[in-house]
């Protein structure tokens, strides 16, 4: 699975939660992340793979099962990892790129559809903003939703436990509310 977004969207926390949850279910797990310049508001792309025995921390070209896009335009870059069966789970959320025209949602979808028909667009940022007053938890919302819907083969209970373990106390309440929000939405 590949997660794409922009710096500051909390991708590394999502990765840690998923890794911890997958591990608690007995899977071997590896993740790959990037720090530094790549985080200064630029594109961010992180990988997680779990299964019986995992060698590579990185997803190979054309072999992602799920691509989670926290920002819609970034999904276009992740096409490299997609094949005809890849599921795109996309946050309906756009962060402008300086010096470039903002792409239209339809344009993005049209392009993604050329490679896979499995595209799920969710206004996660809006839902979280409306229900919780914060759109930063859109990522948490989407991974919870993906587990509830069976898009990620991890029991939501394991995700819940991993959230409790990893999210700092200060934000835990908000994250737990997000979990239940996703549960009701499913």
Q: Which residues bind other proteins (CB under 8 A)?
A: 6-7, 15-16, 19-20, 23, 28-43, 54-63, 73-74, 76-77, 79-80, 82-83, 97-100, 103, 107-108, 111, 114-115, 166
Q: Is the distance from CB of 77 to CB of 45 less than 8 angstroms?
A: yes
Q: How far is the CB of 138 from other proteins (least distance, A)?
A: 18
Q: How many CA atoms lie within 13 A of 55 on its CB side?
A: 1
Q: How far is CA 138 from CA 85, 107, 159, 177, in A?
A: 24, 22, 15, 12
- Cβ proximity to other proteins: between 26 and 133 the closer is 26
- Cβ proximity to other proteins: between 72 and 181 the closer is 72
DSSP-derived letter for residue 35 is -
Q: How far is the CB of 161 from other proteins (least distance, A)?
A: 14
Structure tokens at 156: 């939501």
Q: How far is the CB of 83 from other proteins (least distance, A)?
A: 5
Q: How far is the CB of 2 from other proteins (least distance, A)?
A: 12
Structure tokens at 4: 């794409």
Host H or E run for residue 173 = helix 169-185
- Cβ proximity to other proteins: between 32 and 155 the closer is 32
- Cβ proximity to other proteins: between 37 and 184 the closer is 37
């Amino acid at each position: 699975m590949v997660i794409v977004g922009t710096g500051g969207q909390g991708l590394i926390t999502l990765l840690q939660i998923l890794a911890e949850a997958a591990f608690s279910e007995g899977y071997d797990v590896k993740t790959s992340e990037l720090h530094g310049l790549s985080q200064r508001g630029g594109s961010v792309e992180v990988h997680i793979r779990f299964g019986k025995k995992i060698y590579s921390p990185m997803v190979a070209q054309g072999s992602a099962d799920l691509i989670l896009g926290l920002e819609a335009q970034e999904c276009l870059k992740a096409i490299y990892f997609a094949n005809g069966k890849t599921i795109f789970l996309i946050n309906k959320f756009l962060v402008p790129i300086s010096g470039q025209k903002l792409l239209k949602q339809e344009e993005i979808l049209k392009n993604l559809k050329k490679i896979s028909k499995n595209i799920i667009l969710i206004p996660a940022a809006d839902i979280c903003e409306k229900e919780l007053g914060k759109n930063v938890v859109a990522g948490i919302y989407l991974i919870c939703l993906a587990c509830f819907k069976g898009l990620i083969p991890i029991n939501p209970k394991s995700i819940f436990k991993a959230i409790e373990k990893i999210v700092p106390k200060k934000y835990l309440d908000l994250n737990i509310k997000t979990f239940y929000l996703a549960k009701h939405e499913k």
